[in-house]
Structure 1
Amino acid sequence: MTEIRTPRLVLRRWLDDDLVPLSEIHADAAVTQGIGDGRPCSADQTAELIEAWEEEWDEEGFGVFAVELLGSGELAGAVGLSVADAPAEVAGEVAIGWRLGRVFWGQGYASEAAQATLEFALQDRGLDRVVAVCRTGDRASRNVIDKLGMQAEGTAQHPVHGQEVAVFGIDLTQYTA
């Protein structure tokens, strides 16, 4: 089982007990405003997401981690890697993304987990490049992206949702652990 420990977090595969807390996180419109169509997800949709993330682990050797607080064992959210399907500018590339419950915002958890995930991607899994996409104006996600050392590569329109997104990337030659 793939597991990464940081000073404050455990990044691990998904457990059955994670469905309820992640569903609660996904029910918060403030959390989901920058994800997909921006609407909160139901428990059934969350279960489908976890299943898809686990399938990607099995097929690709990477995926989205459950993010657990090391001290309390509480589920804080999800951070990980997936093969992007949109926008076209990054389709087929490996993208990093995150979503944390609102009570965990502003404490550096997203940056800590994303940094560990990027290191996992480039050093452990041997990927040559990782991209990130965030809605234009999403300052919190942009702060995490900047801390990862990712470079701006332009903007695009999301083909399904129509929002303008900013595209970022980093390759192995640019990465410093």
Structure 2
Amino acid sequence: MERIALRQWRDSDLEPYVAMNRDPEVMRFFPARLEPEQSRASLERQRRFITERGWGLWAVDVDGTFAGFTGLSVPTFAAPFMPCVEIGWRLRREFWGRGIGFRAAQQALAYGFDTLHLAEIVSFTAAVNQRSRRLMERLGLVRDLTGDFDHPTIPLGHELRRHVLYRVSARLDNAGAFGHRAPLP
């Protein structure tokens, strides 16, 4: 089985990160692909968040190769369910369909509940993004039917504006469900 680790970003991640963010299929459910400078700024921002607070959107390492990112973030737009901590992910296409996103996200959830002692973690995506929705459900997140929203940074009329909200709580019956994962940096 492949070794999957969440780690701090490295300079060597930039080239594959730029390529991932330029891939039209990877970015299909985002309003636009990122320009190289936007990817560079994003990498530096994530590296800074991890350095400053010890967590964030970590680089996903699969057997020593940069595969994408998975982790926890604090959304910066206004929505009725704020404040919150969100779990998110994006993987290079060659890593799709191998359970890597699921296993990496399990590590991020474990960190959020077991180390940060969060009461809840949310995730959201464009309503049409069935792949991410299936992953959320596989991870045990439950759709909050009252939480669907129009993403304020996506223009009116855009097919990706409507978003669905999923939640998972650190209830007692979840105890240990995300534990026993490899430690994070």
Q: TM-score, normalised by structure 1?
A: 0.88
SS at match of 1:32: coil
| Matching residue of 1:145 | 136
State yes or no: 1:44 paired with 2:37.
yes
> In structure 1, how many angstroms separate the alpha carbons of the residues matched to 2:76 and 2:143?
19
SS at match of 1:29: coil
SS at match of 1:21: helix
Q: Cα distance 1:12–1:84, how it changes in 2: closer, same or farther (>3 A)?
A: same
Deviant stretches of 4+, over 3 Å: none
Percent sequence identity is: 29
The answer to whether the Cα contact below 8 Å between 1:85 and 1:91 also exists between their aligned partners in 2 is no
| Matching residue of 1:172 | 170
SS at match of 2:149: strand
Which structure 2 segments of 5+ residues have no match? 156-160, 179-185
SS at match of 1:168: strand
> In structure 2, how many angstroms separate the alpha carbons of the residues matched to 1:30 and 1:150?
24
State yes or no: 1:27 paired with 2:22.
yes
Q: Deviations over 1:122-176 (max 9, x none)?
A: 1022111110001102111011101111111131000110410000111110633
Q: TM-score, normalised by structure 2?
A: 0.84
Structure with more strand by fraction: 1
Give, in angstroms, the shift of residue 55 of structure 1: 2.2
State yes or no: 1:10 paired with 2:5.
yes
Q: Cα distance 1:68–1:52, how it changes in 2: closer, same or farther (>3 A)?
A: same
> In structure 2, how many angstroms separate the alpha carbons of the residues matched to 1:18 and 1:106?
21
Q: Which has the higher contact order (CA 8 A, sep 6+)?
A: 2
Q: Give matches, 1:93-132, under 5 Å.
A: 93-132=84-123
Which structure 1 segments of 5+ residues have no match? 1-5
Give, in angstroms, the shift of residue 87 of structure 1: 5.3
Q: Which has the larger radius of gyration?
A: 2
